Amino acid sequence: MTSTTWSGFEEYSRIAAAFGPPGMEGGVRKVMGALLQPYARAVETDRMGNLYAVMGPDHGPIVMLGAHMDEVALVVSAVTESGFLRVMPQGLLRARDFVLQPVSVLARDGPVQGIADVARQGGEYAISDILVDVGARSAKGVGELGILPGDRVCFAPGTRALGPEVIIGKAADDRVGLYVLAAVARELARADLSAKVVLVCTVQEEGVDTFVAWGGAQVAANRLDPALFLGIDTVESCDHDNGPGSPAHSRIGLADGVGILRGAQDLHPGLVDHLLSRARSRGLRHQIVPLAATAADYTRVSRARQGVPCAGLAIPIRHPHSGSEMFLWRTVEDAIELILGVLGEPQELLRIGAELH
């Protein structure tokens, strides 16, 4: 591993290393529970698996701060006669990202290591072309490893540094957000909070369609009935191209700072402008992420109960939904500083969130 100057590397690596496909976030929940427990007034879970760290007074309006625990994965769909696993996607995935990639199959007796590859020569790769090799010589051998159809398959490359500032590995989406929650909890524990803040690690954000995505956040918002929601997630950087064929016409730079979501109908304009103002006043590197719709936890949270005002930050990453998601740790630290600055004036935050636009 190339050395890094980030003091949070070991803690982040611990969060990223846990496996947490949608609906199976238990490993991540265990890590986050251990990190949040020393600082929260209470740590709770609901029946869906969301994790809540309650801070500040036990009454009054709630500021909900959230990041999701799950990661994209594959699902074993069949086993070939010669002992390979066929798969289908759980989340938005590209088959090309599985060429000779280390993976772990979450089998009933524990994770089984394997290598994913694409069984196609030339042409466009499809998820149906992926085969996972777990070293078995037959379907019977696969069964002896405890693997069954329906088991999840996750990227398993490990987390590493590329130079002093760049971190690369699986599940930065959204383990960077979970790291932010843990860091914010440590600082809030030292503060005299005048408003109730609940840090929520949500489940089941990833999905192949809108019928199954973002369900955990919806349950959490219905449970808490928060006065407002601030989310921390990721956004794909588009440094390589700014033309009409790029992932977004607006250039999102890996090194251009914290992304502040703006424009989507499920975001509260006043809260968004408040984040921008605080980023400027603190001299934090930041950029606007223009969106027509969020397509993330905000989508469900904004419609919970009688409606929840939302705003969000996004850490730029390269190679999203792969085993090589890349980000700059300084951007993560800036996001922590920005959130702490906003939470330092919770009554102002609540006032702005109550305004209609």
93, 124, 155 — which closes off a domain?
Answer: 155
CATH number at residue 336: 3.40.630.10
Integer Cα distance of 280 and 283 in angstroms: 5
Q: Is it the case that residue 242 has pLDDT exceeding 80?
A: no
Query: What pLDDT sits at residue 211?
Result: 61
312 neighbors 200 (Cβ within 8 angstroms):
no
What pLDDT, on a 0 to 100 scale, did the predictor assign at position 209? 65
Q: Are residues 50 and 102 in the same domain?
A: no
In a domain, 160, yes or no: no
Asked if residues 183 and 8 have their Cβ atoms less than 8 Å apart, the reply is yes
3-state secondary structure 221-275: HHHHCCCEEEEEEEEECCCCCCCCCCCCCCCCCCCCCEEEEECCCCCCHHHHHHH
Number of domains in the chain: 2
The token pair that represents 59 in the structure block: 């009454």
Taking residue 242's Cβ as centre, other Cβ atoms within 10 Å add up to: 13
Decide if 219 is inside a domain: yes
Distance CA 92, CA 154 (A): 13
Residue 267 confidence (pLDDT): 96
Q: Note whether 137 and 65 are same-domain residues.
A: no
The verdict on 200 and 303 lying in the same domain is yes
Do 275 and 185 have their domain in common? yes
State yes or no: pLDDT of 2 exceeds 70: no
Going by C-alpha positions, the residue among 87, 105, 36 that lies closest to residue 208 is 87
Residue 85, domain member (yes or no): yes
Q: Is residue 176 within 8 Å of 332, Cβ to Cβ?
A: yes
> Which one, of 344, 353, 1, 53, lies nearest residue 157 by Cα?
1
Q: Give residue 330's pLDDT.
A: 97
Is residue 4 included in any domain, yes or no? no
Contact 356, 292 (CB under 8 A): no
Distances (CA, A) of 70 to 33, 88, 89, 201, 319: 15, 17, 14, 9, 17
Q: Determine the residue type at 88.
A: M
**Sheet-wide strand order for 42-45:** 42-45, 51-55, 196-202, 62-68, 228-236, 310-317, 258-262, 286-290
Confidence of residue 309 (pLDDT cuts 50, 70, 90): very high
Q: What is the pLDDT of residue 210?
A: 59
Q: What is the rounded average pLDDT of the residues 29-39?
A: 98
**Domain finish residue from 88, 122, 155:** 155
Q: How far apart are CA 27 and CA 18, in angstroms?
A: 6
Give the pLDDT of residue 250.
64
Examine the domain organization and report whether 226 and 85 are in the same domain.
no
100, 125, 155 — which closes off a domain? 155
- Does any domain span residue 2? no
Q: What's the token pair of residue 18? A: 């846990």
Does residue 145 sit in the same domain as residue 174? no
Amino acid at 335: A
Tell me: pLDDT of 214 over 90.
Answer: no
Q: Does residue 3 surpass a pLDDT of 90? A: no
Q: What does the alpha-carbon distance between residue 291 and residue 310 come to, in Å, rounded to a whole number?
A: 14
- One domain, residues 13 and 128: no
Q: Which of 162-166, 209-213, 246-250, 275-279 has the highest mean pLDDT?
A: 275-279
In a domain, 94, yes or no: yes
**Same-domain pairing of 58 and 145:** no
Q: Is the pLDDT of residue 243 over 70?
A: no
pLDDT at 121 over 90: no
Indicate the burial class of 2 (C-beta count within 10 angstroms; 0-12, 13-18, 19 or more): exposed
With bands split at pLDDT 50, 70 and 90, how would you rate the model's confidence at 310?
Answer: very high
Say which CATH number the domain at 149 has.
2.40.30.40
Same domain for 96 and 121, yes or no, is yes
**Which structural domain, as residue segments, surrounds residue 150?**
73-155
3 within a domain of the structure (yes/no): no
Q: Which of 147-161, 202-216, 292-306, 310-324 has the lowest mean pLDDT?
A: 202-216
pLDDT tens per residue, range 81-118: 999 999 999 999 999 999 999 999 999 999 999 999 99
pLDDT category at 295 given cuts 50, 70, 90 is confident
pLDDT tens digit sequence for 196-207: 999 999 999 997
- Tell me what pLDDT residue 6 has: 96
Distance CA 86, CA 115 (A): 12
On whether both 123 and 181 belong to a single domain, the answer is: no
> In this structure, what is the dihedral angle of CA atoms 289, 293, 297, 301, given to the nearest 10 degrees?
120
Peptide bond into 233 cis (omega under 30): no
Q: Does residue 1 lie within any of the structural domains?
A: no
CB 322 within 8 A of CB 239: no
Residues 77 and 67 in one domain: no
- Which residues fall within 8 angstroms of residue 180, CB to CB, at 6 or more apart? 67, 232, 332, 335, 336, 339
CB distance 153 to 132 below 8 Å = yes
Same structural domain, 337 and 222: yes
